[in-house]
Amino acid sequence: MKNFEIHTLGCKLNYSESSSIAAELEKRGWTQGGVPEIVIVNTCAVTSSAEKKTRNLVSKLHRENPLAAIILVGCYSALKPELLERWAGVDKVFASANKMSVVDYVVTREVTPSPNFFATYSINDRTRSFLKIQDGCNTHCTYCTVWIARGKSRSDTIEGVLKNIDEIAAQGVREVNLTGVNIGDFGRGTDENFTKLLKAIVKQNAIERVRISSLEPELLTDDIIKLVAKNDILMPHFHLPLQSGCDRILSDMRRRYTTAEYAEKVTKIRKLMPDACIACDVIAGFPGETDEEFEMTYSFLESLSISYMHVFPYSRRPRTAANIMENQISEDVKNERAARLIALSNEKKRAFYEQCSGQERPVLVESTVADDMLSGFTDNYIRVQLPFDEGIVNTIQNVIVDPCRTVL
């Protein structure tokens, strides 16, 4: 038996790529399960914590099966290949840009070049799929290594995306999440763009629900907001990374918008979709962030009509401009600030759920959370629980949002 395992750390983009790697290996005669000859780890390096998780996982896998050849792919592999090659049990290291070459390597033990862009989608979940439409980034934010690990922005074609959606829908999947590093940059260097892609997906009408993953604020246009507002296929769910509520910090981060411009985007969404889910990312304790500037961020977020936040204490990353900035913030202060923002996020989420309480909303029933309960997400991304009924899994049910059934 030619057995393999694959483990994935990090973002939904990694999960999409891992799923495609596994599917290709299975097509070529390999099997997931049993005692593996090959163990693939799709790594993450977005924070130092993510790197630590990778190290711990690889060490654990080698202890459990010392005869298996461990292959590392992904962002950590791209940033520190020489380091990872020295780890016990590691047979080969592939950078992100050459990630799909791992399939040929497993089968033939030879390395072949990957195409400039390779489309992938997850097929592990029978209800929804994460479809990669774009990769890489040209923004070069001062705290981020993703642009180093994944390279320049590049993307699929509209024709390619529509073909993949057809394939996903044919497998009975109800929802597609469009994912990438910077999906708003779709079509760079061509006459295609993200707005044209969304219009084509709506016209195709091949799948019931489409979600837009993280979208840079400056790339969220009025046309995109209007498209989502008037088309039931596009879910009223936005993820707009903010990172800081202080304009000086945003400038030091090399972000491409101001707090006023960000607030204007939120206002435009709320005007057309009062109950849309609006999430954001925030970094606590960026180098040089004073107490006063943190309070500016807190007050700005408090005033925004957002639904919840992903909060990250700033993590120093080698090869980034922020890593060598003066006035680095202590871990204690970063964690204290992050804790306050997390508490505010919880307040925001409760308020958002209460706002939607009593509304009837479509829920994609996804999974079992207990013997007597199922769970799923509304169109505006409220997670709810329903009484167990096997017959409604992977169907869309109209459900009254009840605070007693929502999951924070």
Domain range list for the chain: 3-108, 117-235, 239-356, 360-400
Q: How far apart are CA 224 and CA 221, in angstroms?
A: 5
Residue 104 — very low, low, confident or very high, per pLDDT cuts 50/70/90?
very high
CATH 3.40.50.12160 describes domain 3-108: yes
Q: Write the DSSP string, 30-74.
A: -EESSS-SEEEEEE--SSHHHHHHHHHHHHHHHHH-TTSEEEEEE
Q: How far apart are CA 325 and CA 309, in angstroms?
A: 26
Q: Label residues 88-121 b or e (16+ Cβ within 10 Å = b).
A: ebbebbbbbbbbbbbbbbbeeeeeeebeebbbbb
Residue percentage of the chain with pLDDT more than 70: 99
Residue owning tokens 């992904």: 74
Task: Give per-residue pLDDT as tens, 333-371.
Answer: 999 999 999 999 999 999 999 999 999 999 999 987 777
φ, ψ (nearest 5 deg) of residue 62:
-70, -40
- As a CATH number, domain 117-235 is 3.30.750.210
pLDDT at 97 over 80: no
Strands 373-378 and 360-370 turn out to be antiparallel
Task: Give per-residue pLDDT as tens, 48-72.
Answer: 999 999 999 999 999 999 999 999 9
Task: Give per-residue pLDDT as tens, 198-249.
Answer: 999 999 999 999 999 999 999 999 999 999 999 999 999 999 999 999 999 9
**Amino acid, res. 156:** D
pLDDT score for 95: 81
pLDDT at 405 over 90: no
Counted residue by residue, the chain has a size of 408
- As a CATH number, domain 239-356 is 3.30.750.200
Tell me the whole-structure pTM to 2 decimals: 0.95
Same topology, domains 3-108 and 117-235? Answer is: no
pLDDT score for 123: 84
Q: How far apart are CA 33 and CA 5, in angstroms?
A: 7
pLDDT score for 372: 84
Task: Give per-residue pLDDT as tens, 107-154.
Answer: 999 988 878 899 999 987 779 999 999 999 999 999 999 999 999 999
Sign for the pseudo-dihedral over CA of 39, 105, 154, 121 = negative
